Chain A
Amino acid sequence: MSKTTTIGNQTISLNDSIARNELDNQESGVQVTDYDNRQTVGKITVDKPKMVCRGVNVYYSQKHAIKNVSLDIGTNEVISFIGPSGCGKSTFLRCLNRMNDTITTCRVTGQIKLDNEDIYEKDIDVVQLRARVGMVFQKPNPFPKSIYENIAYGPRIHGMVNTKSELDELVRDSLERAGLIKEVEKRMHEPGTGLSGGQQQRLCIARAIAINPEVILMDEPCSALDPIATAKIEELIDELRENYTIVIVTHSMQQAARVSQRTAYFHLGDMIEIGDTDQIFTNPRHKLTEDYITGRFG
């Protein structure tokens, strides 16, 4: 069985499993109770996709880490990936700006498109790609430079500014958007590593948004932070949503529920279920999702 579907302006031919998945979704109240059934439950497509992933597979040497994952990431949406450790959610996230390229044993197949352009094409400039798809990591990792330089570095190497005053303005603007300006405006030239953990993480977010990305990938951005710093980052994510598309990997289901509009559940390399966050956390359709979110994994 094969099927074509229109996504944005493009018509995509879907392989068998996606076509089946699409058909499944047409029936309401799909419930899958079979543990071995690893077909994605839920609607993988959105109206205005920013990124379109189809049949993505990732291998680390022999290990099949991501198995035929297809989904759309909508423009200006926050989508969260949840799942137990080792389920492949971070691996999949890292595919979205080709961070896996740095791992020699890693092989990615399938298609990932950013604004209709395949990011795994040979002529794609990875540095430019990562400027468009920025990333924030689990542990805050400011450069061992001043707060100012942490932000200024990216715009400078990408040639985004011509004058010192332009750069000053961009640094201030980025820090303001990251909600950090009040706390650091009098210590711009002190080392970034001197900030608290939560401030360092917001500095990293400011650094990521300084080069005006279109998508921000966040890999457990709050797992090293206290609840107050976490709340500030979550508030920031909500504000950034107006201008950016955000993909967040988190171990905290409450956080996924608070910040995202859509949630995808990963399990052993398969994307088991995707849906509106409300639905996933109140009435998941797949037994594996249900067991994970209710804490029933032995």
Chain B
Amino acid sequence: MPISPEAHTVKQFDVQLANLRNMVLEMGGLAEDQLKRAITALDEEDLAATRETISRDCIINGLQLKADEECISIIALRQPLGSDLRLIMSLASIVTDLERIGDSAKKIARMTLHIYDGVGSPPSAKLLQDVKPMAQTADDMLHNCLDALAQLDVPKALNIINNDTELDQEFQVALMRLITYMMEDPRTIGHAINVVFIIKALERIGDHCKNIAEHTVYLVEGKNIQQRRNIDMNMVDAFALVRDVRSALKSKK
């Protein structure tokens, strides 16, 4: 049964649910902003903005704590059932995903500091060429999944789940390219490793957006469409690639 538009007999319950919903959407907005700031700062080599991005992460973390407390309070005081229960459980998971998106944005900012730390020369543009398009895909996914959540739009949420594969593929291509650069010129390894961390963070943001979309479908439809995986297949592929690189380097020697 989809969520009823009607009000609860106990008005305070509606107030609490609205508070929680607003908090989650605010977190979503902040996470989106953090991602944009991190990418712009990387693009513009703006270390001050990068540091600001890192320091702003605690705002999202604080909101997560508040949202978690609100979920616990609603469960304890209202014993939600049906669509209310699904809403609370989904939002509780979604705030974790949003907090991790914030962490990923922070990670990108940290890597930016490493890349432009003033030691050695800055990386060439080709090393960073995949970051911007991937960031655009991740940003679109985040924006759309927050829209789907706000509007309880199931088709839009399902669309995001398909988009994640696209981002995963972009990640694989970018990784291959970076490995090639590293193999061609081992002096790029230092920067390339940092860029790998950046594209990995973007790929993780895509995964979190997919989770948010799956939770949105669950809270609206009551259907669990999550595909649980014990192992992140991308990482498995990455390990295989690293092995290949190692053996290639050995044979070169």
Contacts and interface: CB of A to CB of B under 8 A. Distances in A.
B82 A293 contact: yes
Interface stretch (B5-13, B115-123, B233-241): B5-13
A285 B81 CA distance: 13
Contacts of B222: 282-283
Given A31-B1, A283-B1, A254 B79 contact: yes
Main secondary structure of the interface of B (DSSP, over half): loop
A295 B85 contact: no
A29 B223 CA distance: 9
Contact of A283 (B9, B78, B80, B82): B82
Contacts of B6: 291, 296, 298
Contacts of B79: 253-254
B132 to A, nearest CB: 42
A238 B33 CA distance: 52
Contacts of A67: none
A284 B9 contact: no
A296 B85 contact: no
A43 interface: no
The number of chain B residues touching the other chain, given as a range, is: 20 to 34
A286 interface: yes
Contact of B80 (A285, A291, A294): A294
B8 A295 contact: yes
B4 A294 contact: yes
Nearest to A286: B1
Contacts of A294: 4, 8, 80-84
Given A254-B79, A282-B82, A283-B222, A295 B10 contact: yes
A285 B84 CA distance: 14
A253 B8 contact: no
Given A295-B9, A296-B8, A281 B82 contact: yes
Given A31-B1, A294-B80, A282 B9 contact: no
A242 to B, nearest CB: 28
B4 A291 contact: yes
Contacts of B1: 31, 33, 283-287, 289-290
Interface string B84-121: 11100000000000000000000000000000000000
Given A282-B85, A283-B86, A297-B9, 10 more contacts: A29-B223, A31-B1, A31-B2, A282-B82, A290-B83, A294-B8, A294-B80, A295-B8, A295-B9, A296-B8
Interface of A: 29, 31, 33, 253-254, 257, 281-287, 289-291, 293-298
